[in-house]
Amino acid sequence: METIGKRIKSLRKAKKLTQKDLGKLLGLSDVSVLKWENETNTPKLENMHELALALDTTVEYLMYGKASEESSVIDFRPVSRLLPVLTHVQAGNWTSVQSISKFDINQWLPAPPSAGKNSFYMIVKGTSNAPYFNDGDYICIDPDVPIDCVQTGEMVVVQHEGDATFKALVKEDNRMYLQALNKNYQPNIIFLKEDSIYKGKYVGKFETGRKFL
């Protein structure tokens, strides 16, 4: 008889993920994945949504072995690589993937198609860019995109006053400044200083499972 554990194991192997890889995607240990697969434990409801997302399936399929009408085809494409989730302080000090040994990384997420080799994720803090980007969103930043290639209105991360800030870049009259997308947020405009350091361009977002009730 097919069980939740067997379905998780089958989908994980189809995606060419190890138990450790899947654990990293979910922010959990490989032991948690092992216990799910050998039926020692069952995933909690809050884990089921992210688990389904990581395995390109549905919660319904994981639980009952049935695909929903909206998603009857399961995508078995392998996750090509994982990117680190950095704190705002870490993002301000990030240079390239070669420096990863200097950081304490607790979470990894799948790279979006447009992400470069040195890209990383950050977690949005606050409501300065709401409703387009909300508190807790995972945003992917590519530090290899030159600032000269960034157009007005595109989102960037800049190290400003010791912290990494995420705002829209505006180029105007031979000067550049950052602007919050939330018009009610103050300060809405941040003028760049000599010690401001461009850290990269926004290239994608990781969508986690959401609760609707």
Contact 85, 138 (CB under 8 A): yes
Residue with tokens 């809405």: 188
Residue 80 pLDDT > 60? no
> What is the pLDDT at residue 70?
45
Is 201 found in the same domain as 98? yes
- Cβ-Cβ contacts under 8 Å for 38 (sequence gap 6 or more): 5
**Is 70 inside a domain boundary?**
no
- pLDDT category at 79 given cuts 50, 70, 90 is very low
> What is the pLDDT at residue 97?
66
Number of domains in the chain: 2
Is 103 found in the same domain as 202? yes
CATH code where residue 139 lies? 2.10.109.10
**Is 50 inside a domain boundary?**
yes
**Is 98 inside a domain boundary?**
yes
Is 91 found in the same domain as 51? no
Domain, as residue range, for 157: 82-206
Residue length, the chain? Answer: 213
> What is the pLDDT at residue 211?
60
* Predicted model pTM: 0.61
Q: Which of 36, 94, 31 is nearest to 62 (CA)?
A: 36
Residue 19 pLDDT > 80? yes
Q: Which of 106-115, 137-146, 158-167 has the highest mean pLDDT?
A: 137-146
Is 193 found in the same domain as 152? yes
